[in-house]
Structure 1
Amino acid sequence: MANGGGGRRRSFCSSQVELADFFSATGVRVVAVDMPPFMQIHAVDCARKAHDSLEKFTSKTLAFTLKKEFDGVYGPAWHCIVGTSFGSFVTHSVGGFMYFSMDHKIYILLFKTTVQRAQELN
């Protein structure tokens, strides 16, 4: 079957271009990612809105806002680190990792870990 514009490959490439355009328009540069596109957009949109709405920006407030949002929407346990300079080495759940910068000055590391519920003692 010829690819007449409705093929899966074209759709995938088109969505990747749209994602890149979205990041560019919001001043975001993705450093590393293992997360579905819809979650990437959610993370960037949430980070941008939180950053722009804060009267006085603090890394801690932005990190708390992102963690709370992702815990609420995608379940626990999300972690978020925000700053201008930090090192990290983390283990994340598959499909739950994004490291990006906004405006080339704020770096955001958002990742999910698996939580095992404690078993009740009999």
Structure 2
Amino acid sequence: MLEGKAVVGETDMLQTMQQDALHLAAKALDIFDVTESTEIARFIKQDFDRVHGPGWQCIVGTDFGSFVTHYPGCFIHFCVGSLAVMLFRGVVNQADKENLFPALELLDANA
């Protein structure tokens, strides 16, 4: 089972969402070969979009750097062997922020 083999590097997700990400990665690796990183990323991204709403981005590979902006509580980076997975919900513009997370407006207004 992948969940026991995955090493979470960085995350700010709730534990339940982290488990969703690890479970989806395990499922993707059961379906696709480890060399099919684009298909693995597509599989994880599409399911997170369906379950947790639109705007998720997924990067899968063995060697990549990154510098991204994400919604609070919507980022995880973990490794399974030499394969790294980064999953996050990005922000495109203010309208997206208002439509996806209306409660964040209240936090911004109170800051």
Q: TM-score, normalised by structure 1?
A: 0.71
Distance in 2 between residues matched to 1:28 and 1:56, nearest whole Å: 14
Higher helix share: 2
Distance in 2 between residues matched to 1:100 and 1:56, nearest whole Å: 15
1:113 to 90, 104, 111: 90
CA distance change for structure 1 residues 36 and 57 in 2, over 3 Å: closer, same or farther?
Answer: same
- Helix, strand or coil: the match of 2:48? helix
For 1:15-54, what aligned pairs fall within 5 Å after superposition? 23=3, 25=4, 27-54=5-32
Root-mean-square deviation over aligned CA pairs: 1.7
- Work out the number of aligned pairs and report it: 93
Point out 4+ residue stretches in structure 1 off by more than 6 angstroms: none
Instruction: Decide which structure has the larger Cα Rg and report it.
Output: 1
Amino acid at match of 1:101: C
Cα shift readout 1:51-102 (whole Å, capped 9, x = no counterpart)? 1222574000000001100000111100000000000000100000000001
Alignment gaps of 5+ in structure 2: 97-111
Amino acid at match of 1:89: F
Distance in 2 between residues matched to 1:29 and 1:55, nearest whole Å: 20
Alignment gaps of 5+ in structure 1: 1-21, 118-122
Query: Contact 1:46–1:66 at 8 Å: present in 2 too?
Result: yes
Distance in 2 between residues matched to 1:41 and 1:96, nearest whole Å: 13
Distance in 2 between residues matched to 1:110 and 1:97, nearest whole Å: 6
1:85 to 63, 70, 80: 63
Q: TM-score, normalised by structure 2?
A: 0.77
- Helix, strand or coil: the match of 1:44? helix
